[in-house]
Amino acid sequence: MTNTTRWTNWSGFVEGSPQRILTPGNLDGIVEAVKTAPGPLRVVGAGHSFTPLARTDGTMMSLERFEGLVSHDAAATVARVRAGTRLGSLMRLLQEIGQGLPNMGDIDRQAIGGALGTATHGSGEALGAYHTQLEATQFVDGRGEVRELRLDKDRDMIHATGVALGSFGVLTEVALKNIPTYRLHRRKWVLPIKEMLAEFEPTMGAHRSAEFYYVPFSGHAQFIASDLSDKPVSPRPPEEDEEGLATLRKLRTVLRWAPWLRGLIIRTVMAKLPAEDYVQDWLNVYASDRRTRFNEMEFHLPFEEGPRVLAEIIELTERRFPEVYFPMEVRSVAADEFWLSPFYRRPTCSIAIHHDAANDPLPFMRAAEPIFRKYGGRPHWGKMHSLKAMDFQALYPRWKDAMDVRRDIDPQGRFISPYMADLFGLK
């Protein structure tokens, strides 16, 4: 147990002062904390959410000591792991047993429990978010009872609790349906943004995994495609993302009053960027080094609305917010059946915008959010937004059903902080 007076998330934007931070190393310790620790009790992973999901003035529980592989089934390509396992560690554990995650985002610092609870995802029209891999879960409910769910017996409950925002109990173990370990052919190239938007659907659908970044004022997209390959591995080029961000920040600062010149320089540099082309084992492809801290908003839209929304976000940024230099990220995600998943029964285009953590993100985010909402966007649960329970009732067909299940699992509201009460309409 640790007493503390201040906690901050990864970006430093969300702060809290919990009475206690607990780090139980076994299931008994988790059960005891749920039964006796001062509430509200919130579980924190890597602190990589940009919303106050983990903030509490009661007890914050970290599962950093509750991690690792529990068991695996080679024939079924299923692995059972503890919820505190970080994605970077999980990749290596799976590779050692001949398994691989079917898809990933580009950050590997999150705990698998947090990634599942917030519907974290990678990119690919036929590839779902992490929670679509769930075969079984174990969690401690609000009464301190250990519950086990299996997809073959408890499908509705898995779908109700698979995206849980840390409010349906303390997730302790998960069984993930993986695929045999594999290699990816990764390519990256630059093309005009007008061409990308005009050919959005066929271009995004031409590869197993596809995404692109748009650098404000550049007029160009950096497209990234990954496809299965049986070719020998080749060297992955050195990452230069951090150096690129530093250059974009400097141009933003020095040429603040000459955006036309800033744009000219960025366009010239991007048009000359060399293409990237290599083959590597899956765990050496997805993740990137992310040291420059930022705040982020991401909305999940009907796939066909992606180009229109991105065009409006670009126009807004370049007209009103020249201080923004972080690239915008555009991905696709397959539809699923999880009740609180932003991808519930909807093929999705996800658009993420970022702002340097050294700057106030709220003016930019508040101006962009109405554009996302106008086209039916559902926010990423772990990224900045201002939606409330009434908004979610309109966006999620199974919202009321999910709230009923949550109430049954946690009748006394052990996991309900003021932020969660506001989100769920419990005030």
Query: For residue 297, is it within any domain?
Result: yes
Q: Are residues 235 and 359 in the same domain?
A: yes
Say if residue 324 is in the same domain as residue 367: yes
User: What is the C-alpha separation between 189 and 221, in angstroms, rounded?
Assistant: 8
Mean pLDDT confidence for 279-303: 95
Query: Which of 12, 42, 44, 79 has its CA nearest to residue 423?
Result: 42
Report, as an integer, the average pLDDT of 254-272: 87
Asked whether residue 170 falls in the same domain as residue 266, the answer is: no
- DSSP secondary structure code for residue 338 in this structure: -
Q: What is the pLDDT of residues 133-175, one digit of tens each?
A: 999 999 999 999 999 999 999 999 999 999 999 999 999 999 9
- For residue 418, tell me if it sits in a domain: no
Q: Is 12 a domain residue?
A: no
Residue 256: per-residue pLDDT: 82
401 lies in a domain? no
Asked if 135 and 157 sit in the same domain, the reply is yes
Predicted local confidence at residue 270, as pLDDT: 86
What CATH number did the domain enclosing 126 receive? 3.30.465.10
Q: Which residue type sits at 167?
A: S
> Is pLDDT of 402 > 90?
yes
pLDDT band at residue 14 using 50, 70 and 90 as cut-offs: very high
pLDDT the model gives residue 267 = 87
Q: Confidence band (pLDDT; 50, 70, 90) for 231?
A: very high
Residues 128 and 223 in one domain: no
> Residue 197's domain is classified under what CATH number?
3.40.462.10
Q: Would you say residue 2 has pLDDT above 60?
A: no
Asked whether residue 5 is domain-assigned, the answer is no
Q: Is the pLDDT of residue 192 over 70?
A: yes
pLDDT in tens, 346-398: 999 999 999 999 999 999 999 999 999 999 999 999 999 999 999 999 999 99
pLDDT at 259: 82
- Number of Cβ within 10 Å of residue 351's Cβ equals 24
Residues 77 and 90 placed together within one structural domain of the fold = yes
Same domain, 115 and 261: no
The answer to whether residues 201 and 223 belong to one domain is yes
- Please tell me whether residues 227 and 306 are part of one structural domain: yes
Write down the pLDDT at residue 3. 54
pLDDT, averaged across the chain: 95
Residue 18 domain-assigned? Answer: no
Q: Residue 26: helix, strand or coil by DSSP?
A: coil
Residues 110 and 152 in one domain: yes
Does residue 342 lie within any of the structural domains? yes
CA atoms within 13 A of residue 95's CA, in its CB half-sphere: 13
- 63-112 pLDDT, tens digit per residue, is 999 999 999 999 999 999 999 999 999 999 999 999 999 999 999 999 99
Task: Specify if 131 maps to a domain.
Answer: yes
Q: Percent of the chain having pLDDT more than 70?
A: 99
Q: Is the model more confident about 130 or about 288?
A: 130
Say yes or no: 218 and 350 in one domain: yes
3-state DSSP of 279-327: EEEHHHCCCCCCCCCEEEEEEEEEHHHHHHHHHHHHHHHHHHCCCCCCC
293 and 332 both lie in a single domain: yes
Q: Report the distance separating Cα 391 and Cα 169, nearest Å.
A: 24
Structurally, how many domains does the chain consist of?
Answer: 2
Q: Does residue 62 register a pLDDT over 90?
A: yes
Which residues constitute the domain of residue 276?
A: 183-379
